[in-house]
Amino acid sequence: MLKLFLLLVPAIFLDPVNGYSNGKVTESCRSMKPGHGHPSQSLPSPYTVTVDKSKFSAGDQIKVTLFGSPTTFKGFLIQARDMADPSGDAIGSFTLVDHYVSQLLNCGEIKGSAVSHTSKSGKLKVEVVWNVPSNPPPAVQFFATVLQHYDTYWVKMPGPIILMGNSTPVPTLTTSAVQPTTESSVLRKPFSSKDCGSTKSCLRDPIGCDPETDPKCYFLSFTSEEHSVVFELSGPTEGYVSFALSHDKWMGNDDVYLCVRTDEYVNINPGYVTGRTHPTLDSQDTLTNMAWRLSDGVVQCMFRREIRVPADQDRFNLDRSYYIFLADGKAEHGMVHKHHHQPLISSEKKYITSSPENLNGSRSPFIIKVHGALMLVAWMTTVSIGVIVARFLKPLWPESTLFGQKIWFQVHRILMSSTVLLTCIAFTLPFVYRGGWSKHAGAHPFLGCTVMALAVLQLVMAIFRPHPNTPRRMIFNWAHLGTGTISRIIAVAAMFLGMDLPALNLPEPWDTLLLSGFVTWHILTELLLELHNLFIIRKAKNVKDDEVEIIDSAIGETEGHMIKKIVLTVYICGNIAFLSAFMAAINCI
- 38-75: pLDDT as tens digits: 777 777 888 999 999 989 999 999 999 999 877 789 89
Pick from 15-24, 162-171, 437-446, 480-489 the range whose average pLDDT is largest.
480-489
Give the β-pairing of 201-205 and 218-225.
antiparallel
123 vs 536 pLDDT, higher one:
123
Higher pLDDT, 569 or 542: 569
DSSP result, 79-115: EEEETT-TTS-B-SEEEES-TTTEEEEEETTEEEEEE
The rounded Cα 327 to chain-centroid distance in angstroms is 10
User: What is the rounded CA–CA span in Å between residue 521 and residue 514?
Assistant: 10
Contact (Cβ atoms closer than 8 angstroms) between residue 114 and residue 79: yes
Under 8 Å CB-to-CB from 146, ≥6 apart: which residues? 45, 47, 66, 68, 73, 75, 76, 153, 154, 157
Predicted TM-score (pTM) of the model is 0.65
Closest CA to 26 of 127, 113, 134: 113
Helix or strand or coil: residue 18? coil
498-524 pLDDT, tens digit each: 998 888 878 888 999 999 999 999 999
Specify whether the CB–CB gap between 56 and 132 falls below 8 A.
yes
- 147-182: b (≥16 Cβ within 10 Å) or e: bbbbbbbbbbbbbbbbbbeeeeeeeeeeebbeeeee
Is residue 359 within 8 A of residue 346, CB to CB? The reply is yes
Give me the helix-helix angle, 510-543 and 383-392, nearest 10°: 10
Round to whole Å and give the CA distance between 31 and 177. Answer: 10
pLDDT at 204 over 50: yes
pLDDT for the residue 13:
35
Q: pLDDT tens digits for 471-508?
A: 899 999 999 999 999 999 999 999 999 998 888 878 88
User: How many helices, marked H, and strands, marked E, lie in the chain?
Assistant: 8, 28
How confident is the model at residue 333, as a pLDDT? 73
pLDDT digits (tens, 9 = 90+) for 127-150: 999 999 999 999 999 999 999 887
In this predicted structure, what is the pLDDT of residue 507? 83
Relative orientation angle of helices 561-588 and 366-376, to the nearest 10 degrees: 170
Q: What's the mean pLDDT in 428-447?
A: 89
Does pLDDT of 550 surpass 60?
no
pLDDT of residue 330: 87
Q: What is the dihedral of CA 520, 526, 530, 536, to 10 degrees?
A: 110
